[in-house]
Structure 1
Amino acid sequence: MVDARLEPMTDDEYKPWRIEAEAHYARSVAASGRSEVDSVRVAADAYAQLLPEENRTPDHHFWYAYGGDFRIGFLWMKVTDGAAFVYNVAVEPDLRRQGYGRAIMLAAERWCRDNELTRISLHVFAHNTGARALYEQLGFAETGRNMVKDLGNGSR
């Protein structure tokens, strides 16, 4: 079984991470059906609202995850009212589908337990079937569902 260690991001590490994380979120929004232009705006607005003080925004935690001496991914969580919300988690592209996502999420759970948090939740895009399957295997339960219907021009 693969294990992950969480190391807090430094200020210098956060800056390039933020740029790529926002761009990745924009791509996910686009994959869910929004235009590319709209997706970039949605992502920029979301990150500006969520992180007004960047990596110093209260209650937000940013880590790089390591397997031994090499970086395997990252994790961003917010803690409020005894619970954690995972805003972003990812495995390095060349390491995906090797158990590292599971390891990062289990490290997140350990961190939450160590900090006496009683719940961990997250959002996953419907098109991300691999992540959805992983979260279900880890015991996450679906608590809601967003739905959309594209009407196009003049459709009923």
Structure 2
Amino acid sequence: MMDVRLEPMTRDEYEPWRAEAEAHYAESVAASGRSAEEAARDAADTYGRLLPDGSATPDHHFWYAYDGDRRIGFLWVKVTHDTAFVYNVAVEPDVRRRGYGRAIMLAAERWCHANALTRIGLHVFAHNTGARALYEQLGFTETGRNMAKDL
């Protein structure tokens, strides 16, 4: 099994990451049934609300994940009390389906243990069946379910 290293994002790395992450989030929202315009507005509002001070927003942690010298993905978590909530995790497109998503999540668990956190949570879009399967394999259980109906 591979061992992925998490390196904190620098302030210079944060801004381009945020633009890309926000755009990807908008795509996921659109894939869930919203218009592209609504999804873009929702993404901008969500990121603005969650990260009013950007990378300096208290209790939020941003890392790039590395396998050796190769950057293979990123991770964003927020810590509240004894829980880390994964807001975003992704693997670079050219190295997907090689176990890096699992390795990043296991690195997140190691970080949580090292910081005396006892729970890790996340949200996954229903249409992201690959991620859902991975999280279930890692021992995550469903704690709620959002539902919608187009009218």
Give the TM interval when normalised to the shorter protein. over 0.9
* Percentage of identical aligned residues: 78
Higher radius of gyration, 1 or 2? 1
Cα offsets for 1:79-131 (capped at 9, x unmatched): 01111000000000011110000000000000000000000000000000000
How far off its partner does 1:3 sit? 1.5
Trace 1:4-19 onto structure 2 (pairs within 5 A).
4-19=4-19
Trace 1:1-156 onto structure 2 (pairs within 5 A).
1-151=1-151
Q: Structure 1 length normalisation: TM-score?
A: 0.96
* Partner amino acid, structure 1, of 2:138: L
Alpha-carbon separation, structure 2, partners of 1:133 and 1:2:
19
SS in 2 for 1:98: coil
Contact kept, 8 Å, 1:3 with 1:100, in 2: the verdict is: no
SS in 2 for 1:147: coil
SS in 1 for 2:90: strand
* Partner amino acid, structure 1, of 2:37: V
* Partner amino acid, structure 2, of 1:41: R
Cα offsets for 1:116-154 (capped at 9, x unmatched): 000000000000000000000000000011111111xxx
Alpha-carbon separation, structure 1, partners of 2:128 and 2:101:
13
How far off its partner does 1:6 sit? 0.2
Alpha-carbon separation, structure 2, partners of 1:112 and 1:53:
23
Unaligned runs of 5+ in 1: 152-156
Alpha-carbon separation, structure 2, partners of 1:111 and 1:91:
18
Unaligned runs of 5+ in 2: none
Alpha-carbon separation, structure 2, partners of 1:85 and 1:74:
14
* Partner amino acid, structure 2, of 1:25: Y
Alpha-carbon separation, structure 1, partners of 2:83 and 2:148:
29
Cα offsets for 1:24-46 (capped at 9, x unmatched): 00000000000000000000000
SS in 2 for 1:62: strand
Report the number of matched residues. Answer: 151
Q: What is the Cα-based RMSD across aligned positions, in Å?
A: 0.4
